[in-house]
Chains A and B, each alone.
Chain A
Amino acid sequence: MFDKVFPPKEIILPNGKTIMEKRSRTPLTVLIVIMAIYLSVKFTGFEFSVLLQSGYKFFDIVVAMVPPKWEYLPNIWKPLMDTIKMSLLGSVIGSLVAIPAAYFAASNIVQSRIIVMIARLVLSVLRTMPTLVTALIATFIFGLGTFAGTVAIFLFTLAYVGKLLYEQIENASMDAFEAMESLGMNRIQAFRYAIFPQVLPNFLSTSLFCFEGNVRYAAILGYVGAGGIGLLLDEALGWRDYAGVGMVLLMLAITVFFIETISEHFRKKLIGKA
């Protein structure tokens, strides 16, 4: 298409040979991006001057958060643990269920195109659903509280890990798989012994990453009544108690830091060996 509008330019070498140089797409791309930015600015009412003028007001709330309200600490433990539990449970189950889901979505393993398509569509649509929406629907169906949050996290993890996993499965080398078949295994066994070991480190690392993200996400889930530390956050925000919010965030950041460090450790261990 592009080459028709902007035909390639012919370059003649000193020795008489010719070669067609395709026109660079960069100028067009840059133009389109600039236009898109312009339109977006118009649409969203973005004004740089406002940022310059009152950008400092952003820090009003940041400033109000320090020092955090230490007395708040005892209130935080339980919801924080709830949040971790929710994320852990949702992530573990979600990752486990993601394995069969990814199996069916991998076109190099499952030969029926229809199954692959359905599995992928399900994963895609699940991933499209914003977590907050899933959580809200979960609270409607499963009632308020951590269970709904767990379900939302489970679905999100399933969709996210499932997609990455099936992509990894498709990129995995089929060599060993072929060899397993020649050994007399069926496809599921061959998958278990040839493909699964290949994707395992990445799978674990994705799951850990997802767990980490889920802890953070769970902070918002409270807003829709899905339990955990989000409820506390909501409460403190409602009272405009930013020092309390600061305390909650501090604890959350520490938790996230620990989880990140631990999971980084295992990730390195898993992938580093490869």
Chain B
Amino acid sequence: VSEEGNADNSTEGEAEANDKENEASASEEESTTAIDELSISFVPSREPEEIITATEPLKDLLKEEMTNLGYDIGNVDISVGTSYEAVGEALSAGTTDIGFIPGGTYVLYDDGAEVLLTSTRAGLTNDSDNAKDWNDNKPTEASDEQVTYYRALMIAGPSEKGQELAEKVNSGEELTFEDMDSASWAVMSTSSPAGYIYPALWLKDHFDKTLMDLSNKVSVDSYGSAFARLAAEQIDVMVTYADARRDNADAWQAENNREGTIWDETNVIGVTSGIYNDTISVSKNADIMDEDLKAAIQQAFLNIAETEEGKEVISIYNHEGYQKATDAEYDKEREAQEMVQSLN
């Protein structure tokens, strides 16, 4: 109780000083600030339940790190938004404090969100922007390099139409927009970079069309369900991030009851340019948020990504580490979005 009292009385200047010290030597403790609750929201780019289960250890990790940085966190509340918009709005209004959101979402909601970190992840054995290369060099594996961007792929499924498109690509033919339009597509919500924006840009580059022009498309709420539909041959093409097939390889056969492997049955028919990785953003409008806390959160996640346990947790999003990020890095993303939007 007395600690809380101290914290409330400590002036901003003191706190700042504390923080600088903390950054220098994280273990040093002088005074702590008490925070009742810190809420973290994840976007549903994977199965929400998986996210909830996998991120459970994050609570304690974060509390621990934050304690070292001079913050006494009462409770860490983790929730998975059912849509990107829900997480975005929550961040923008300050009803959630920290969001694991893609760059695209960040850009849309930057009136209330501020990016702290960009995730890094292992590069892939394929990094070509030619679809055929990906199909020739199967399966795609992780490489040793850490990168801050990834690509989105258009993947054709085992349906008749999907196979037809794949064949065309693999025989070196150019796809036409008619080919594209005759297939049925699964896309993610419009703010998802790999699931919407970059594929849209790709369409624009190649055919001067956008996803809006496709006759048969459906939005799905997670890549898992897109794969499920692909497997069920309900859709012919889905758009996803480059190593999504690695993540869904098991499920492809086990849950979706396919005979062949995901590598045999699916083919890449399009590759987009690089997309900046997911962000960890905080809400500017949350009551508890101030510069010190932001810095502390930033440091805490950097620290967590260093630990074994932490690595495991963030691997759910294929994050392997973090780098500090600035808003300016997302200007390119803004341009992309403006372009997509102006196409509408």
Contacts and interface: CB of A to CB of B under 8 A. Distances in A.
Interface of A: 54, 57, 60-61, 75, 139-140, 143-145, 223, 225, 231, 234-235, 237-241
Contact of A140 (B189, B196, B234): B234
Interface string B229-257: 00010110000000000000000000000
Nearest to B112: A60
B84 A144 contact: no
Query: What are the 4 closest A-B residue pairs judged by CB atoms, nearest first?
Result: A238-B190, A225-B218, A144-B218, A238-B189
Interface in B251-302: none
B234 A240 contact: no
A197 to B, nearest CB: 45
Interface residues on B, range: 20 to 34
Contact of A225 (B88, B212, B219): B219
22 contacts: A54-B93, A54-B95, A57-B93, A60-B93, A61-B89, A140-B232, A144-B184, A144-B217, A223-B219, A225-B220, A231-B219, A234-B190, A235-B344, A238-B84, A238-B196, A238-B219, A239-B108, A239-B191, A239-B341, A239-B344, A240-B88, A240-B108
B93 A240 contact: no
B218 A238 contact: no
Contact of B190 (A60, A61, A235): A235
A186 B240 CA distance: 63
A44 B108 CA distance: 29
A238 B217 CA distance: 15
B84 to A, nearest CB: 7
Interface string B150-189: 0000000000000000000000000000000000100001
B307 interface: no
A234 B189 contact: yes
A193 B95 CA distance: 61
B85 interface: yes
B216 interface: yes
Contacts of B88: 240
Nearest to B189: A238
B255 to A, nearest CB: 15
Contacts of A225: 218-220
Given A225-B218, A239-B341, A143 B234 contact: yes
B75 to A, nearest CB: 12
Contacts, number: 48
Interface of B: 84-85, 88-89, 93, 95, 108-109, 184, 189-191, 196, 212, 216-220, 232, 234-235, 341, 344
B298 to A, nearest CB: 25
Contacts of B84: 238
A238 B341 CA distance: 11
Contacts of A238: 84-85, 189-191, 196, 219
Contacts of B218: 139, 144, 225
Label chain A's interface by main secondary structure: helix
A202 B88 CA distance: 46
A259 B109 CA distance: 37
A234 to B, nearest CB: 6
A241 B85 CA distance: 11
B204 to A, nearest CB: 16
A240 B111 CA distance: 12
Contacts of A75: 344
Contacts of A240: 85, 88, 108-109, 191
Contacts of A145: 216
Nearest to A226: B218
A75 B89 CA distance: 25
Nearest to A225: B218
Contacts of B191: 238-240
B189 to A, nearest CB: 5
A237 B83 CA distance: 10
B82 to A, nearest CB: 11
A114 B40 CA distance: 54
Residue among A139, A231, A240, A241 with max Cβ neighbours from chain B (10 Å):
A240
B216 A144 contact: yes
B185 to A, nearest CB: 10
A231 B109 CA distance: 21
B341 A234 contact: no
